[in-house]
Amino acid sequence: MLRDKFFKEVENVQHPNEKLVKTHCSYCGMQCGMNLRVNTHTNKIIGVEPRYDWPVTVGKMCPKGVTAYQQTNHKDRLLKPLIRDHAELKGTKEGFREASWEEAYNLIAEKFTNLQAQYGKDTLSVFSGVSMTNEKCYLTGKFARVALGTRYIDYNGRFCMSSAAGGFLRSFGVDRGSTLPWTDIHETDCLFIAGSNTAECHPTSMFRVWSVQERGGYLIVADPRETPIARRADVHLDLKPGTDLALANGIAHLLIKKGYMDEAFIQLHTNGFQETKELLKLFTPEYTSKITGVEVEKIIRAAEIYGKAPNAIVMFARGIEQQHKGVDNVSAYTNMALITGKIGRPFSGVATFTGQGNGQGGREHGQKADLLPGYRKLTNPKHVEEVCQVWGITPEEMPKPGVSAYEMFELMEKKEIRGLYLLCSNPAVSAPNLNFVRKAMKQLDFMVCADFYLSESARFADVVLPSVTWSEDEGTVTNLEGRIIKINKAQEPIGVSKPDWQMQVELAKKLGKGAFFEHLKTTRDVAEEFRLASRGGSADYYGATWDKIDQQDGVFWPCRSEDDNGTPHMFLDKKFYHPDGKAKICALPYRPPAEETTMEYPLSLTTGRVVYHYLSGNQTRRIPFLHDMCPDPYVEVHPTTAKAYDINHEEVVRLYTKRGEATYKVKITEAIREDTVFVPYHFGDEDSINLLTIAALDPISRMPEFKVCAAQLSKIATKENGNREEETVY
Ligand SMILES: Nc1nc2c(c(=O)[nH]1)N[C@H]1C(S)=C(S)[C@@H](COP(=O)(O)OP(=O)(O)OC[C@H]3O[C@@H](n4cnc5c(=O)[nH]c(N)nc54)[C@H](O)[C@@H]3O)O[C@H]1N2
Ligand SMILES: Nc1nc2c(c(=O)[nH]1)N[C@H]1C(S)=C(S)[C@@H](COP(=O)(O)OP(=O)(O)OC[C@H]3O[C@@H](n4cnc5c(=O)[nH]c(N)nc54)[C@H](O)[C@@H]3O)O[C@H]1N2
Ligand code: SF4
Ligand SMILES: [Mo]
């Protein structure tokens, strides 16, 4: 127990001028454990250290995590509410003046009330995000439905986790992103990772990934690019973007053909096997290879490794999910685990790499167009009744389900939505088909944006409300394992900034709905109501008290009562959440990408991330070290392709699709397929790759196809003037 003693001593060491506040990172779903260092004279955050005593990440942090603390007292922080005086300057940084909270609230209340009087309740909308705590996410859903009384609320998780959610609901009847705790990764025999750039996006998972190979296990990676994990994989399935459904079916075909299935498990615990088996007959290795471009031998080897492994975990991320068949991809890869029975026991299962810090909790408690707290459905009268009881409204007063994130912009463009309350998201950079989305935002009658920096989206707002960074408030978030953890407050809000929940409580009063909100005076009050609202739902947090979270290093949901310690492993009893207790093996015919390549647009464009930036980049582009490491976007091109286009490394080229264009520096790399180009999406204004992406939505999850569309490159003949007349197109 030397370890325990060592940590206790370390924890007790307190510098006379500093204190340490135990918390977690502001960014991704790993939620690495960290201590924020606070100067006890100024009461300001001055630094960070990793927490070695946090079991998931054991002292590890990435470049974003170690600099995250620099956000809080950053010179760009919004210190006061802003009101736009010059409508003609919408979309720019100019034309705002500072105002008091009172003036800002009064203006919002007046404009929102007038719009609703003229155009009906549903003329208003809320667009939110999941960098917020569960408490804030919960209250945002209540704010939309009770204070504004609108059906139109959706959130940035629609661009992130909605396909994983849809796939898990269909396959398992419940959507918890991981069926097992992350510590199990260490002990498994095979990791099958599809569409995840783990080393850059969930870097602190890497010591667990490498440890599988170190112990003699295997790593299989499906990605069109040779990412760091693909480079070291035992098999790299270097598929053409958008062909995962064929690949997953092809592997499942072999798992059946070579006898790797668990017949007893299939018989007792699943539905749909016979139908799936019929469909899979088509997906011979040769047929699969033809669609995916992956060599037959690699497909066979991957199936054999996964099939033979005593324990295996299938993992995936946005690479397979951000497609117009993302839900099918999730279910198709999940089929591998269900056919072989490698699920519902330690060291075997299925997990998605949840993206945002609260990408899991934020999707469960009512920010989604069709969901209420605890994963309840707005279309289920019993569920509605249960939530009405907590909120003190009648079922008739509960708004109906709305539409998905991108579809809200479509309604804005049609003027069916005229008002927007945007918080915790920067869709002017992160939504697909940006020429359309920016136009839709610009023509709103009235827009509010809550953020702590003036984001690209805030520039479209009529009122900007200064919110706080994660370290200036407390609350819970749910990490990528499904573990509910506690964020602690390290510093008081700077300026007159306020946490989002507080703004919503205060605004509700101005909107005449104070009675439903005014009892919420502290974050803890919101937390208590939130636990109650989730009680009895499939994502039940009732038993996850802050004390319990502290005592046992987090609580895995479901946690239904005070004496329930939570559920680290799902389905240990082989009970899935469909009414008959069985999981569903899904027969999923192959569909090509929404936009296939043509002579005119011969390249597959895919988009994603780099280790130094986070999402729209509004936070990380302001951190000096992160900016210096990756100041500009670029387009990755294979050397053979570069030669065909006669372009050189670092040359500026024009990249375009049917929807838009942008210019990027070329990065020539062998780590990409010849028929594919990649651009990171963390950059704003004319650098946004989303000017080019397609808003083809998955029919079930309404997830846009960020991961594939058809593009063309052209050399800009005169680099200096970028003269289109002179450019050469190949
Ligand atoms: N550094 C950093 N880390 C992050 C974030 C960040 O912005 N920056 N964001 C967080 C969030 S919100 C998210 S959602 C996650 C995202 O985490 P990831 O999903 O891992 O990240 P991406 O870069 O979007 O895409 C992953 C991989 O998908 C591959 N890919 C593209 N098309 C296809 C395809 O058709 N099939 C397959 N199989 N693969 C394909 C890409 O080449 C890429 O390597 O990361 C989280 N962590
Ligand atoms: N082309 C392409 N586009 C993509 C993706 C892709 O892979 N390719 N990935 C998609 C994915 S997975 C995601 S998750 C989205 C994310 O896209 P966005 O939702 O735009 O993500 P962020 O950049 O995190 O935006 C959060 C904003 O809210 C602010 N903020 C942070 N915390 C708080 C808070 O507590 N309160 C308030 N009020 N504001 C806060 C930040 O400063 C920032 O401006 O992008 C999607 N877009
Ligand atoms: S891996 Fe994610 S949670 Fe951990 S330090 Fe990096 S950004 Fe933060
Ligand atoms: Mo995400």
- Binding site membership of 500 for ligand 2 (Cβ less than 6 Å): yes
- Nearest 5°: phi and psi at 300? -65, -45
What pLDDT, on a 0 to 100 scale, did the predictor assign at position 726? 45
Identity of the amino acid at 256: I
**Alpha-carbon separation of residue 581 from 174, 536, 573 (angstroms):** 11, 18, 10
Residue 379 token pair: 């279309």
Whose atoms come closest to the Cα of 154: which ligand? 2
Please list the residues that pair with 652 across neighbouring strands. Answer: 665
Residue nearest to ligand 2 atom 35, measured at CA: 132
Find the radius of gyration of the CA atoms of the chain.
25
Residues 296-352: tens digit of each pLDDT: 999 999 999 999 999 999 999 999 999 999 999 999 999 999 999 999 999 999 999
**Ligand 1 centroid distance, CA of 608 (Å):** 5
For 8, residues 6+ apart whose C-beta sits below 8 A from its C-beta are: none
* Average pLDDT of every residue of the chain: 96
For ligand 2, whether the C-beta of 446 sits within 6 Å is: no
Q: How many A from CA of 614 to the centre of ligand 3?
A: 10
Whether 423 lines ligand 2, by a CB cut-off of 6 Å, is: yes
Strands (E), 156-203: 190-194
Over 70: is that where the pLDDT of 1 sits?
A: no
Identify the residue whose tokens are 């490698």: 342
Of all protein residues, the one whose alpha carbon is nearest to atom 46 of ligand 2 is 430
Whose atoms come closest to the Cα of 56: which ligand? 3
Q: Assign 3-state DSSP to the chain and report helix, strand, coil percentages, each to 5.
A: 40, 20, 45
Residues 108-117: what's their mean pLDDT?
A: 98
pLDDT at residue 724 greater than cutoff 80: no
Identify which of 404, 426, 709 to mutate to test ligand 2's pocket (most ligand atoms within 8 A of the CB). Answer: 426
Ligand 2 lined by 453 (C-beta under 6 Å): yes
Q: Which domains does the chain have, with CATH numbers?
A: 2-71 (3.30.200.210), 164-352 (3.40.228.10), 603-729 (2.40.40.20)
The side-by-side arrangement of strands in the sheet containing 446-451 is 96-98, 82-84, 463-466, 446-451, 419-423, 124-128, 153-155
Q: Is the CB of 244 under 6 A from ligand 1?
A: yes
Torsions phi, psi of 465, nearest 5?
-105, 130
The ligand placed nearest to the CA atom of residue 430 is 2
Alpha carbon dihedral 594, 158, 699, 412, in 10-degree steps, equals -90
d(Cα 648, Cα 124) in Å, to the nearest integer? 49
Does the CB atom of residue 608 touch ligand 1 within 6 A?
yes
The verdict on the CB of residue 425 being under 6 Å from ligand 2 is yes
Tell the residue nearest (CA) to atom 25 of ligand 2. 425
How far apart are alpha carbons 160 and 131 in whole angstroms?
A: 12
On the question of pLDDT at 7 being above 80, the answer is no
Cα(206) to centroid(ligand 3), Å:
12
pLDDT of residue 728: 44
Instruction: Write the pLDDT tens digit of every residue in 477-514.
Output: 999 999 999 999 999 999 999 999 999 999 999 999 99
Residue 516: name the closest of 373, 348, 394 by CA: 394
Burial of 725 (0-12, 13-18, 19+ CB in 10 A): exposed
Ligand 1 binding pocket mutation candidate from 158, 192, 318, 479 (most atoms within 8 A of CB): 318
Q: What's the whole-number mean pLDDT along residues 583-587?
A: 98
Over residues 36-45, mean pLDDT: 96
**For residue 6, what pLDDT is reported?**
55
Atom 5 of ligand 3, nearest CA residue: 65
**For the CA of 240, the nearest atom of ligand 1:** 35
Q: Would the pLDDT of 540 be above 60?
A: yes
Q: Is the pLDDT of residue 719 over 70?
A: no
Q: What is the pLDDT of residue 12?
A: 58
320 lines ligand 1 (CB under 6 A): yes
Q: Which atom of ligand 1 is closest in space to residue 317's alpha carbon?
A: 19
* Atom number in ligand 2 closest to CA 467: 38
Measured from the CA of 160, which atom of ligand 1 is nearest? 14
Ligand 1 atom 4, closest CA: 201
| Residue 464 C-alpha from the chain's centroid | 24
Return the ligand 1 atom nearest residue 224 CA: 42
Name the closest-CA residue to atom 8, ligand 3: 65
Cα–ligand 3 centroid distance for 202 (angstroms): 7
Q: Tell me, what's the pLDDT at 16? A: 81
Measured in angstroms, how far is the CA atom of residue 31 from the centroid of ligand 3?
6
Cα 344 → chain centroid = 25
Please indicate whether residue 615, judged by its CB atom, sits closer than 6 Å to ligand 1. yes
Helix (H), strand (E) at residue 39: strand 33-39
What average pLDDT does the segment 656-683 reach? 98
Regarding the beta carbon of 362 and ligand 2, being less than 6 Å apart is answered no
Long-range contacts of 283-291 (CB under 8 A, 24+ apart): 283/246, 283/249, 283/250, 283/252, 283/253, 283/590, 284/250, 284/253, 285/250, 285/253, 285/254, 287/246, 287/250, 288/246, 288/247, 288/249, 288/250, 288/251, 288/253, 289/250, 291/240, 291/243, 291/246, 291/590
User: Closest ligand to 609 CA?
Assistant: 1
- Ligand 1 mutation target, pool 28, 669, 705, most atoms within 8 A of CB: 28
Report pTM.
0.96
C-alpha span between 346 and 31 (Å, rounded) = 22
Tens digit of each residue's pLDDT (9 = 90 or more) over 545-560? 999 999 999 999 999 9
Q: Starting from the edge strand earliest in sequence, which strands make up the sheet with 33-39, in order?
A: 18-24, 33-39, 45-50
Q: Which ligand is nearest to the CA of 205?
A: 3
Q: What angle do CA 302, 292, 216 make, to 5 degrees?
A: 15
The answer, yes or no, to whether any atom of ligand 1 lies below 6 A from the CB of 606, is yes
- CA–CA gap between residue 68 and residue 682 (Å, rounded): 16
Q: What is the pLDDT of residue 414?
A: 98
Q: Is 127 in the pocket of ligand 2 (CB under 6 A)?
A: no
At residue 723, does pLDDT exceed 60?
Answer: no
**Whether pLDDT at 112 is above 60:** yes
Q: Is 426 in the pocket of ligand 2 (CB under 6 A)?
A: yes
Q: What percent of the chain has pLDDT over 70?
A: 96
Give pLDDT tens digits for 378-429: 999 999 999 999 999 999 999 999 999 999 999 999 999 999 999 999 999 9
Nearest atom of ligand 1 to the alpha carbon of 612 = 1
Q: How confident is the model at residue 9 (pLDDT cuts 50, 70, 90)?
A: low
- Closest C-alpha residue for ligand 3 atom 4: 32
Residue with tokens 């790759």: 689
Do 692 and 662 contact (CB within 8 A), yes or no?
yes
Ligand 3 atom closest to 614 (CA): 7
Cα 102 to the chain's mean position, in Å? 34
Query: What is the CA(729)–ligand 1 centre distance, in A?
Result: 30
Check pocket membership of 430 for ligand 2, CB cut-off 6 A.
yes
C-alpha 33 to ligand 1 mean position (Å): 22
Ligand 2, residues 223, 424, 459: which to mutate, most atoms within 8 A of Cβ?
424
3 state DSSP class of 214: helix
Following DSSP, what letter does each residue of 454-500 receive, concatenated?
A: --TTGGG-SEEEE---GGGS-EEEE-TTSEEEEE---SPPSTT---H
Residue 9: exposed, middle, or buried by beta-carbon count in 10 A (0-12, 13-18, 19+)?
exposed
Q: Are 595 and 696 in contact (CB under 8 A)?
A: yes
Q: What pLDDT is recorded for position 124?
A: 98
Q: Is residue 453 scored above 60 in pLDDT?
A: yes
pLDDT of residue 683: 98
Structure confidence at residue 15 as a pLDDT band (50, 70, 90): confident
pLDDT of 725 above 50: no
- Residue 155 Cα to ligand 2 middle (Å): 10
Is residue 363 lining ligand 2, measured as CB closer than 6 Å? no
Ligand that lies nearest to the alpha carbon of residue 352, given by its number in the listed order = 1
Distance CA 580, CA 433 (A): 42
DSSP β-bridge partners for residue 712: 656
The residue type of 460 is: F
State mean pLDDT over 214-237. Answer: 97
Ligand 2 contact via 693 beta carbon (within 6 Å): yes
Ligand 3: list residues with CB < 6 Å: 25, 27-28, 30-32, 61-62, 64-65, 202-204
Look up tokens 């996006």; give the residue. 201
